[in-house]
Amino acid sequence: MNQPRTPSAAPPKVGQTLASLRQTKALSLDELSRQAGVSKSMLSQIERNQANPTVAVVWRLANALGVSMADLLGGDKPPSPPLTTVAAHATPSMRSPDGRCELRILGPIELAGVFEWYELVIQPQGALASEAHEPGSKEHLTVLEGEMQVSTNGVSTRLTPGDTARYAVDQAHEIRNPTKKPAKGLLVVIHPA
């Protein structure tokens, strides 16, 4: 005898499962996009739970990842392998509109909006200008190579290798390379709970 099903309040959120499976298989968004025939922007939206895929998209993704549709739709996070790696070429990155700043996204997608970390490279005279984040957000910048200057809320400080600046980012802020050599650092963004 079939029991009546209670309808689910919301469609399954496959984003975390998709991101975990993609990372376990060391696939970049570009590589999975090519293998599944799904646009990179759609994959990104699905992983951030900003879009739910159609059945056809779930089928393509499951085939490309070598898993069943049920595994992808289950909503449960698949068991974590004891060790995962992300190859350098598979690490996603973003560039500033002028191309002088690059942020390599080192943190896992499931922590986006909570705790994020990046490798930041700024070319000579380049600047990463940011609008205000949500109230209570903070950034921690450690310079590894070269020099960087952080400006926020009318205050500015210059950092050399090994220096760390910690500052609130609930107002516009900027990280600049005032020198004639490239600069590299680690940038951590902590969002309020």
pLDDT, tens only, 128-142: 999 998 899 999 999
3-state secondary structure of 144: strand
What is the spatial distance between Cα 80 and Cα 96, in angstroms, rounded to a whole number?
33
Strand partners, 168: 138
Q: How far apart are CA 18 and CA 45, in angstroms?
A: 11
pTM of the model: 0.60
| Contacts of 1 by beta carbon, 8 Å cutoff, 6+ apart | none
Over the stretch 17-33, which tens digit does the pLDDT of each residue have?
888 888 888 888 888 88
Does residue 8 carry a pLDDT above 60? no
Where in the sequence of the chain do the CATH 2.60.120.10 domains occur? 91-190
Query: Is it true that domain 15-73 has CATH number 1.10.260.40?
Result: yes
| pLDDT for position 78 | 54
Q: Please list the residue range(s) of the chain that carry CATH number 1.10.260.40.
A: 15-73
For the chain, report the end-to-end CA distance as a whole number of angstroms.
46
* Contact assessment for residue 61 and residue 15, using Cβ atoms and an 8 Å cutoff: no
Structure tokens at 89: 């070429």
Residue 73: the pLDDT is: 78
pLDDT for 12 equals 66
Question: Do 139 and 173 touch, CB atoms closer than 8 A?
Answer: yes
Tell me the two tokens of residue 164: 């760390």
Check if CATH label 2.60.120.10 holds for domain 91-190.
yes
Distance CA(64)–CA(27), nearest Å, equals: 10
